[in-house]
Structure 1
Amino acid sequence: MKKVIMAAALLFSSAGAFAQTWTLDKAHSNLGFTVTHMMLSEVDGKFQDFDVKMTSSKPDFTDAQIELTADVNSVNTNQEKRDGHLKTADFFDAAKYPTLAFKSKSISKVSGNKYKLMGDLTMHGVTKPVTLDAVITGPVTNPQSKKTLAGFKVTGEVKRADFTLGKAPEAVVSDEIGIRASGELVKN
């Protein structure tokens, strides 16, 4: 019996050794958001500088551990004055909180290549649990580089108030922030 327990412990402890590490292909990836302005139109923005790392040993990624970080100072809404305002203490307070981060807790398959991604989002010094929708495609082999790639698309919504992000009234800037991330991961 002792040998069986030792063999099982060895098997489970070595399972992590088979985990594959995936890194972001920044040339084929985006991290964006959308808010509604004046209850009239949507304003899109993105973070130019962000990174994602994923570790997974299962081919369907249901054991994936995902970490995302973004440089708040890289926010870009295609309007320099607004971008500058977003970096101030009125919104992101980039001087005090220079990064935002997401760390997964679990990922569960819904059907086919659709998943629910649960984790903690930290923004403006506040950490809250979030659930996001994810579509993962691949893996495939890039015919040119011969590297293994996986595609992802993540969407969801968070509330500005939950992260004390900006004091603008909802009539000016919606409380709801739509999140969109998409791109490719490369297996190392």
Structure 2
Amino acid sequence: MTATWNLNADAGELLLFTDTAGRAARTGHKLTIAMNSWQATADVDDDGHPTSVELTVDVDSLEVRKGEGGLAPWTGAEPGIARSNALKSLDGKKFPTITYRSTGVTRDGDTYQVVGDLTIHGVTKPHPLTVTADGTTFSAETVVTQTDFTIKPFSLMLGTVKVADDVRLTLTATAP
């Protein structure tokens, strides 16, 4: 007998962390971005161990929470500008969701190796995840390379300041 856990942003937090690149990288801000609308389902066995996972993220729910570093201070208008730039890079109107669907899950103690397909910007690629569990609280961390999904990282000043190609993603959630 299996059960299905239904999770959403009320159960946890999905965050993205950007870095800067380019010759003038130190002038740019490193961003913390929250995805405020997402839904996940996990099929679990009788012992509460996941056997499959699906995640759908609403791209328009993107919220820039903070900007760190840079030569100029992070001002009140910048989160909105950064959000607009991120939605343009993701082409959020044409590709309103990001999805992940597992194709296999293996367990080693409190760690799960999840193999699945990640779809961003209309491009689907295999993407492994390592998920750790502490009771019913799960966490995952991974790095996504934007250009692997035909996303051109945002840049300024002819590319001397740009968002680094690799974006770190973390997800924490507590199951019911």
Residue 6 of structure 2 is aligned to residue 23 of structure 1 = yes
Percentage of pairs with the same residue: 23
Spell out, residue by residue over 1:147-181, the C-alpha distance to the aligned partner (whole angstroms, 9 max, x if none).
Answer: xxx21101111211100112445951111111100
**Whole-angstrom distance in 1 between the partners of 2:129 and 2:9:** 21
Contact map agreement 1:25 1:185 (CA 8 A) in 2 = no
**Whole-angstrom distance in 2 between the partners of 1:170 and 1:126:** 27
Contact map agreement 2:153 2:164 (CA 8 A) in 1 = no
Contact map agreement 1:119 1:129 (CA 8 A) in 2 = yes
Q: What is the SS of the residue equivalent to 2:175?
A: strand
2:90 aligns to what? Answer: 92
CA-CA distance at 1:27 after TM superposition: 2.5
Aligned length: 154
Q: TM-score, normalised by structure 2?
A: 0.80
Name stretches of at least 5 consecutive residues in structure 2 with no aligned partner: 66-78
1:155 aligns to what? Answer: 141
Name stretches of at least 5 consecutive residues in structure 1 with no aligned partner: 1-17, 139-149
Check 1:161–1:151 CA distance in 2 against 1; reply closer, same or farther (3 A cut): same
1:175 to 165, 168, 173: 165
**Whole-angstrom distance in 1 between the partners of 2:143 and 2:160:** 15
What's the Cα RMSD here?
1.9
Letter in 2 for 1:183: A
1:109 aligns to what? Answer: 107
Aligned pairs (5 A) from 1:116-131: 116-131=113-128
Spell out, residue by residue over 1:45-104, the C-alpha distance to the aligned partner (whole angstroms, 9 max, x if none).
Answer: 111110111112242625x1111001100111131111112112xx11111000000101
Q: TM-score, normalised by structure 1?
A: 0.75
Residue 80 of structure 2 is aligned to residue 80 of structure 1 = yes
**Whole-angstrom distance in 2 between the partners of 1:68 and 1:77:** 21
Contact map agreement 1:49 1:70 (CA 8 A) in 2 = yes
